[in-house]
Structure 1
Amino acid sequence: MSANSNFVAEYCELCAEICDWCAEQCSQHDHAHCQKCAESCRACAEECRKLAA
């Protein structure tokens, strides 16, 4: 990203997809740490999508 790669948007979109998947997986568990992970992953996905735009 610091080198202004032509693939920044694609990298960020892939990161967002991975974070969405992680959030989906973690949200299926009732443990507090899993819910916190899902919340963090959703926030990360949102930020990645901002960078991808």
Structure 2
Amino acid sequence: MLLKSNYTAEFCAVCAKICNECAEECEKHAVMHMEHCRICAEACRRCQGTCEFLALAA
């Protein structure tokens, strides 16, 4: 039996989870007035959103 799998959707879903974890960690440091961490958190949130969109679209 051949199982149908959508590796693109799976990959993008994992990417979104990783980006979320990264953003959460960076947001903790951003509270301590570390500007570069705030910027990183924003980038991770954008990446997370894009990966979630692609996972649903795939």
> How would you bin the TM-score normalised by the shorter chain?
0.7 to 0.9
The unaligned stretches of length 5 or more in structure 2 are none
1:1-53 equivalence runs, <5 A: 6-29=6-29, 30-53=33-56
Two-structure CA RMSD over aligned residues (Å): 1.2
Q: How many residues align?
A: 49
Q: Which runs of 4+ in 1 moved over 6 A?
A: none
TM-score, normalised by the number of residues in structure 2: 0.80
C-alpha deviation, 1:35, in angstroms: 0.4
The unaligned stretches of length 5 or more in structure 1 are none
C-alpha deviation, 1:6, in angstroms: 2.8
Identity %: 51
TM-score, normalised by the number of residues in structure 1: 0.87
User: Larger C-alpha radius of gyration, 1 or 2?
Assistant: 2
Which one-letter code corresponds to 2:16 in the other structure? Answer: A
